[in-house]
Amino acid sequence: MSNIVAIVGRPNVGKSTFFNRLIQRREAIVDATSGVTRDRHYGKSDWNGKEFSLIDTGGYVKGSDDVFEVEIDKQVEIAIEEADAIIFMVDVESGVTGMDEDVAKLLRKVSKPVFLVVNKVDNSQRAENAVEFYALGLGDYYTIASINGSGTGDLLDALVKALPEKEETVQEDLPRFAVVGRPNAGKSSFINALIGQDRYIVTDIAGTTRDAIDTKYNRFGFEFNLVDTAGIRKKSKVKEDLEFYSVMRSVRAIEHADVCLLVVDATRGFDGQVQNIFWLAERNRKGIVVLINKWDLVEKETQTMREFEKYIRQQMEPFTDVPIVFMSVLNKQRIYKAIETAVEVYNNRNKKIKTSKLNETLLPIIENYPPPAYKGKYVKIKYIMQLPTPQPQFAFFCNLPQYVRDGYKRFLENKLREHFNFHGVPVSVYMRKK
């Protein structure tokens, strides 16, 4: 379970540049997954072998400066509440501003590690000018230039040193199903419908994350933990509609889960925030089931369901092999179907395929459709194996891995799906030198 680091500060101080620099370095090396990542405000990074989740709060605020003043306070409060460490970014060009002082005032009361980072310091004159930031009362600061990365090393050294050690909670190996989605999509009602009037419920265990409630649950002779992100204690100060808030909450739940049940309000559709949560689960390589709730409220014609499903699959591209269940929590329609589907996805995610079976099935296909030649070079794939990871990852051993394009990797992924059923589960395909 990784720590969460939030980057706060007023607009245009360079938060996003810094954020992109940190996650791209990492994504280029580790996460060379095909497909687009559509939300750019959450990412994973690591430094000296320590991994952490990074949240750029700036990406969540839209509106004019005066709207911003209110929003930024909210965000800093949420960051204080949710993150394990906070990077407060200011900009040497504009010096200390009133808004910086407001943020500093909130951060001075915090017991968590706070790093004051002065950005755009790219010469010695500016390094001298940075001294004025002592006035914010947050002690020492770090000077960086996020555009070229100078100074970020020292900052990251200090940051990872200050991150609390996450005690790995030893858990019973029950599968964990997280119910995620934007506020008011019906997450709580869904869980209550499953649990409230239900004789199957075994015990309530206090959540391992301090904000998600775990419920041990038994259905179809299958026992699992249901992780409820909706039942998180309501904050008086925080407006529930804050996009940043639900994403931050989902981050923790998703990182902990095996399968994510994404509850979507049928009357609102598969909008930007729902997509953020979907890509978050996909990027964390979790099983996914999409639950379209409040289907009873949608005006229907004969093709409505098919059209709606088609529209959602377009939004999910290229990862479209995901079960979609239409349900109505209110009328208790198909809520058990949702759980049954989650169990299937869980089993798909844990599937191990024998090496002999893989090679027998896929090598003839590859022979008929080899990777296209690149710069006159022919790629020969000799051997395939599944890697011993918690989710399905496959290594294809070949002579020239660097010449295999993303399109062909997608072709291989589709063949794996076609023959071995990974419905609802992200599959990773790696090319390795034999």
376 among annotated binding-site residues: no
Residue position matching structure tokens 């200050």:
162
Residue 228, annotated as binding a ligand: yes
Bridge partners for 5 per DSSP = 54, 85
Cβ-contact 426, 349 below 8 angstroms? no
Nearest to 347 by CA among 107, 177, 99: 177
Residue 409 labeled ligand binder: no
**Residue 161 labelled as part of a binding site:** no
Query: Binding site annotation covers 355?
Result: no
Decide: 32 and 39 in contact? Cβ < 8 Å.
no
* Ligand-binding site membership of 15 (annotated): yes
Longest dimension (CA), the chain: 71
Q: Cα(276)–Cα(255) distance, rounded to whole angstroms? A: 14
- Give the contacts of 430 (CB within 8 A, at least 6 positions apart): 387, 393, 394, 395, 396
DSSP H helical ranges for 52-177: 65-82, 98-108, 124-129, 152-162
279 known member of a binding site: no
The alpha helices in 206-323, defined as continuous H runs, are 243-256, 272-283, 304-316
Annotated ligand binding at 215? The verdict is: no
Euclidean distance between CA atoms 79 and 57, whole angstroms: 8
Residue 380: how many CB atoms within 10 A of its CB? Answer: 13
Consult the annotation and say whether 331 binds a ligand: no
153 is in an annotated binding site: no
428 is in an annotated binding site: no
Residue 407 annotated as part of some ligand binding site:
no
Q: Are 187 and 181 in contact (CB under 8 A)?
A: yes
Angle, vertex CA 20, rays to CA 16 and CA 26, nearest 5: 155
Q: Is 229 annotated as a binding residue?
A: yes
- Tell whether 59 is in a known binding site: yes
Residue with tokens 């938060």: 15
271 annotated binding-site participant: no
304 annotated among ligand-binding-site residues:
no
The distance from CA 192 to its chain's CA centroid, rounded to whole angstroms, is 25
Does residue 119 have a known ligand-binding role? Answer: yes
3-state class (DSSP) for residue 401: helix
* Contact status, residue 392 vs residue 321, Cβ threshold 8 Å: no
Is 332 one of the annotated binding-site residues?
no
Is 120 marked as binding a ligand?
A: yes
Q: Is 284 annotated as a binding residue?
A: no
Flag whether 188 is marked binding: yes
**Residue 175 annotated as binding?**
no
Q: Is 186 annotated as a binding residue?
A: yes
The annotation status of 146 as a binding-site residue, yes or no, is no
**Binding site, annotated residues for GTP:** 9-16, 56-60, 119-122, 181-188, 228-232, 293-296
**Binding site, annotated residues:** 9-16, 56-60, 119-122, 181-188, 228-232, 293-296
